[in-house]
Amino acid sequence: MYFAALLARTEDGWEASDTELDDVETLSDLADLARESSGEEDETVLVFIEQEDSWFGIVRVDGEEDPRVYVSDAAAASRSSYGELLLTDELLGRDPGDDGPDLDALDLDGTEDGEDEDDDDDEETPSADAVPQGPVGDSEILDDLGVSPKELRALDEDALNSIAEALGASEVLETVR
């Protein structure tokens, strides 16, 4: 079960709206959706995404600046379509467009039919595509709003409500839950 909401900071305080992410395919699409939801160009908009108590993600959009992203557990998020939306190559420290091995560089020496060239090589090496356990992204994403990086990394169950409470937006978030 997923929950997604937008929190926009306005002159009158925080405004919340739930959102559907069905038509969102990239982080850029999500940032555009956040910008469209705000009434002013320079408003801060936070996108909260949560999968039960498994992981949560925050995307912060400040005007036309690039979105900032924090994900509480990259490995758990990588197993969900919404998590994959947030886990960009840049966030994971990968080179953009590095989709796997270069087929031209493979050494096809006759062992490709399942025969091991060296039986001593049974140790499994971590894949370059492996997603790290634990948090990734900008842990200072909410620092200026009252949630320190240390507090953010310590959150687990009911994290979005705790964040909303620290922001003074718990009542408006609760209206869209």
pLDDT in tens, the chain (177 residues): 889 999 999 888 899 988 888 889 999 999 999 998 876 777 899 999 999 879 999 999 998 899 999 999 999 999 988 898 999 888 888 876 655 544 444 455 555 555 455 544 444 444 546 788 899 999 999 999 999 999 999 997 789 999 999 999 999 899 888
Query: What b-and-e string marks burial along 152-174, b requiring 16 or more CB atoms within 10 Å of the CB?
Result: beebeeebbbbbbbbbebbebbe
Torsion of CA 39, 3, 154, 10, to 10 degrees: 10
Residue that the structure tokens 């936070």 belong to: 46
Q: What is the pTM of this model?
A: 0.80
Residue 3 exposed, middle or buried by CB count within 10 Å (0-12, 13-18, 19+): middle
